[in-house]
Structure 1
């Protein structure tokens, strides 16, 4: 039987979850672990197709083995319906994961010694408990989100939400005296237009929180510099961030793609950035989930043009959406470059980048802050509103956009905020200082580095 530590990894089926799970997996490989990385078939196919000719790098003798399982939904199901996907996965995947663990033991003589599960894949911890191996929660979202989830019983008692998880009041509340104020917008599961959808997510959430009690080992992609209040509020959360993708510069950035992406990265944007003046480019990217209607898309395009500055804009071409919005006729785009998907960590570390227009997903937040880039915040869903509050009000390294009476962020507002953030030396100075603090965490002897070592030692015991 294989004595090397083998870890089975279970990310939620979303780009913002698969990506940090892959980075964590690569860190574990550096410490001598083997990884079985389990995705749904739908996500697995996206990851493999984005890799081009690199597929052989994660099969065969590679320490990261990509495995796919059906999510139980039909071919034409809406995989953006989070509740439907989660419920179907819960019905279908646990038995398959158990069988996989048994199969690799019998056929490959490999013993899985630990399951690292995402929050909404917490059923993996039940499997670990049942078969007597270690189980770990890894939260790729901010620690403040876990703090919010842990506070659900108290939020109900205090009359902030009802027993179905829906907000009763619009007034601000605090999870503890030191915690930043939150409002109804922070209750992310109730942010959708459909309250039934919110109630379904809330019920999933409550079930997952109960399962998490099966393990004492909770990891998160954060640091005390970012979220001191949240980490002291949930003392069992071990911060190991910022988890950043590392690139082998000996191979050259022009050939290396990031493992775990859903779309092929357009590496030509790095060469384009090389041609731009230092600190001049507006980087615009809204993650894997955000969608704009025609009006807002048009205002964004014309707003970027109005800034009269070079910009790099990621515009996803989701074949699943089948609703690609055309660029407006009056948009020239001469000073910018548009790509379908970018190697974001490489982009944000490029000296030509001036600021980041972002949806404030936690990965993007971590990557932007770790590169000292000021933010212009445009949240869309879930924890992104909470992250915006941290960026603008707590850390003071960015600004938000104000929408007009129709809920539209106008082209003029985009120009005004770009000019404002780029002329604010206080914001840029704070961003640079925060970058150094974050990177010190992952240097040898840094807090996150020590926490990761502590976790690895526990894993190998």
Structure 2
């Protein structure tokens, strides 16, 4: 009888309002709900992001439910109209975010309990660093969902545990020839490290990121939550075991189950995706170069021109997703027209549909981890053009560890010149079924095995959910 009256397991996902965090968290939430039919899942992100996800709501803090049965309940992060560094500054961001977020999330948890839906486990992403303390105060078990590679987790962990000086020295090597050796990890060159470890001054424009990571790893040391990582054992066997102090579980690749998945929603743009797909339908198999640098990066005017000339020089059709007006000096790109004789330029497309289309032959990518995993699961080889954060390490995984892509080299201004882009595209596109493309297909199969029934990631997720069910009882 006690078992019958015990609450159902209820997972509360708490996620920062960035699309690159929201999408993989939504995907894991949906997968967790599918694997545990008795569970409830509630998803909470900042009010500003909730409004973008559900623009038709009568009020910005109104609940919503998607077709998978996941409930969306926002919390305030102190910046309900969105955080704008140029307006709000960064000096008080951490304190305000922690104070307002903690109070608001506690109210969300209390409200759920009052409605007979007590939270039994919190799952959070790494920029909402105040969540584990809220969970501790409320007596709720917590787990962190690490949405970057396990290798990046390991590098950061060692950075905050005595290897900060050697990592910073290596990362700032002007010739990119320095190598660092960390416990449990293969040697990493300076241009294979996440950019945050290069920061040595509070005056650096991205110092806030490093400061928040420091807070995060302090909480990990104290509270020792489970760490769910969006990767799989075959891809990162060393990195997943490089931090024995933490319980690290691979649960990925967590990507949309199909091209139309709700968990692949873009918050910021809606375009006529059919135009892209109709255009791709007219192209031969593996003939199209797909180019996208994600939703955050702004491309300089010079980089846009080098990219355009490099793509044109290949003589191959290309589909380029380019943010308009975001580059240096407001640089824009015509959507088609004379400047793009064999290409199509759009502001948005359904990336999973594009990567799944047989006409796509390679993916020129900034190496955001979500994009890389989507490409891996579709067997599409990559031209890696990393910029910052975890992207240099992702490029290392793609090229050196997987052999499923090639890395473009940047010039002294951080730009991929047209000849270098052409060289990298041709290495993949002229390769036929051998080499890089064959490796990409092998990794597609390994990724599929990991999340399939009985696969390593599927077992890990099921074990995590089972443990949460047991605690709920």
Out of 298, 306, 328, the residue aligned to residue 291 of structure 1 is 298
Equivalent residue, structure 2, for 1:390: 397
SS in structure 1 at match of 2:148? coil
SS in structure 2 at match of 1:288? coil
Partners in 1 of 2:297 and 2:199 — Cα distance? Answer: 13
Aligned ranges for residues 85-234 of structure 1 at < 5 Å? 86-106=94-114, 108-156=115-163, 159-161=166-168, 171-176=178-183, 178-183=185-190, 186-190=193-197, 196-197=203-204, 198-213=206-221, 214-234=223-243
Equivalent residue, structure 1, for 2:278: 271
Out of 429, 435, 446, the residue aligned to residue 426 of structure 1 is 435
Does 126-135 or 407-416 show the bigger shift?
407-416
Partners in 2 of 1:403 and 1:238 — Cα distance? Answer: 34
Out of 46, 59, 65, the residue aligned to residue 65 of structure 2 is 59
Normalised by the length of structure 1, the TM-score is 0.87
Partners in 2 of 1:444 and 1:47 — Cα distance? Answer: 31
Partners in 1 of 2:349 and 2:308 — Cα distance? Answer: 18
Asked whether the 8 Å contact 1:299–1:409 carries over to 2, the reply is: yes
- How far off its partner does 1:85 sit? 5.2
Deviations 1:304-358 (A, max 9, x none): 2222211111123489999452449995324222222222122212211100000
Deviations 1:21-48 (A, max 9, x none): 0000111221223222111122222222
Structure 2: gaps spanning 5 or more residues: none
SS in structure 1 at match of 2:409? coil
Out of 29, 36, 45, the residue aligned to residue 33 of structure 2 is 29
Equivalent residue, structure 2, for 1:455: 464
- How far off its partner does 1:100 sit? 0.9
| Alignment CA distance shift 1:359-1:326 (3 Å) | same
Asked whether the 8 Å contact 1:347–1:353 carries over to 2, the reply is: yes
Deviations 1:167-204 (A, max 9, x none): 69973101136524232661421557975235443232
Aligned ranges for residues 287-366 of structure 1 at < 5 Å? 287-317=294-324, 323=330, 325-327=332-334, 331-366=338-373
| Alignment CA distance shift 1:42-1:344 (3 Å) | same
Partners in 2 of 1:328 and 1:110 — Cα distance? Answer: 49
Deviations 1:105-128 (A, max 9, x none): 12x221111110112223212111
SS in structure 2 at match of 1:110? coil
| Alignment CA distance shift 1:407-1:201 (3 Å) | closer
Partners in 1 of 2:81 and 2:327 — Cα distance? Answer: 11
Structure 1: gaps spanning 5 or more residues: none
Equivalent residue, structure 2, for 1:73: 79
RMSD value, Cα: 3.4
Partners in 1 of 2:248 and 2:138 — Cα distance? Answer: 24
Equivalent residue, structure 2, for 1:246: 257
SS in structure 2 at match of 1:211? helix
2:50 maps to 1:39:
no
- How far off its partner does 1:257 sit? 8.2
Partners in 1 of 2:390 and 2:467 — Cα distance? Answer: 30
2:248 maps to 1:237:
yes
Partners in 2 of 1:427 and 1:217 — Cα distance? Answer: 35
Number of residues paired by the alignment? 449
Equivalent residue, structure 2, for 1:14: 18
